[in-house]
Each structure stands twice: as C-alpha cells, then as structure tokens.
Amino acid sequence: MSSQSAGNEPPTNFASSSRGPRAHSAPGSLSDSVELVKFEVLSILKDTVWPWRSTDTAHDLIRTIENASSLANIPKDNNHIQAEHRASLERFIVVMENVQSKLKGASNTYKTKKKGLRRTLEKVTEYEERSKCKPLLESCQAEVQDALASLPDQWNHEIPTGTVYLRVADAGAAC
C-alpha cells in the first residue's frame, strides 16, 4: 500500500520516508522533519476510506493539521529556533510519528481508496472494526492539538542572542 496519492508529491529535500523522520537523529532541519511527517500523516488520512461514522473526525484531523498556523514559516535553520521552541518542535514530531503509526495500522484495516466489487466485499467484512475507528481518530486529534498548543503562533526568524541581564539599578534608571 502506498500512502501517497496520485499527483501528490512528498515535500522536496527528503530521502525515502520508509524509516520515518526522527527529530533526534535527522541530519536535516526541524522544519524539514515537520513537513515530512505532516505530509505522511495527511497522505494516510486522505488515502484511506474511513468508515462513514468516522469521516467527519478524519476530516477534522486533516483540517487541524493543514490549518495550523504554528506550522507555517518554521525557520529552516535550526539556529534560528529558540531552545524551548526547538524542544516543542521535537515533541510535535514525535507525536506526529506516533499518530502516523496509529493511522497506518487503522489504514491497513480500512484499506486505501479502491473501487469495485472487491472493495464492497472488504467493507462488509470490516463492519466490526468500524466502532474502533472514531475513538482512534479522536485520540489522534487530541494528541495533535496538544502538541500544536505548545508551539508559537508565529516564528521569529532572527537568530536568538544570549540572555541579556539588566541590573536592578539600571532598570530603575531606565524607567
């Protein structure tokens, strides 16, 4: 099963996605890792025929990821990302990798989009598994929203400098 749609190409600058991005070992930028894991999760979500009771939840998760303002304009240079935001991005990548793993398992159950008699027969045999899908998607949604909440709404592309200490005596004079 391929997690890529026809016509959709993975973001550039990425090697094979078979091993998945790893925030702690990826040689590229965190921005590239975020884009890759985002692409892979969205591909699974869009290329899977979710049970009809779960389609709204799947679409909500897609919208959450696609419309996340905190994922726009992440600096390409890791040195331009403040340490606390770097840790939040690494956590986001790990969360998305876990979500990707869960979705991949569910996607294998529900299969990618197919047409015809074979897909109809598969849908009939999957009936009992459908009730497990919506809670899985809801938990993925909650995990992604929690990870997004720790990211800044906008990214500052300036190189962070060292901490500036202001003496109390100087602070009083400045006021």
Q: What is the DSSP string of 40-72?
A: HHHHHHHHB---TTTHHHHHHHHHHHHT-GGGT
Q: Contact 64/141 with Cβ under 8 angstroms?
A: yes
**Cα–Cα distance, 38 to 14 (Å, whole number):** 13
pLDDT in tens, the chain (175 residues): 444 444 454 444 333 333 344 444 345 789 999 999 999 999 999 998 888 888 899 999 999 999 988 888 888 888 888 888 889 999 999 999 999 999 998 888 766 555 555 555 555 545 545 567 889 999 999 999 999 998 887 776 665 555 544 445 544 555 4
What is the pLDDT at residue 159?
Answer: 56
What is the pLDDT at residue 109?
Answer: 75
Q: Residue type for 107, please?
A: S
Burial class (CB in 10 A: 0-12, 13-18, 19+), 28: middle
What is the pLDDT at residue 155?
Answer: 75
Q: Residue type for 126, please?
A: E
Q: Contact 133/102 with Cβ under 8 angstroms?
A: no
Segments of the chain assigned E as strands: none
Residue showing tokens 């100087």:
170
Name the 3-class secondary structure at 167.
Answer: coil
What is the pLDDT at residue 14?
Answer: 36
**Cα–Cα distance, 164 to 175 (Å, whole number):** 17
**Cα–Cα distance, 57 to 141 (Å, whole number):** 8
Q: Contact 3/44 with Cβ under 8 angstroms?
A: yes
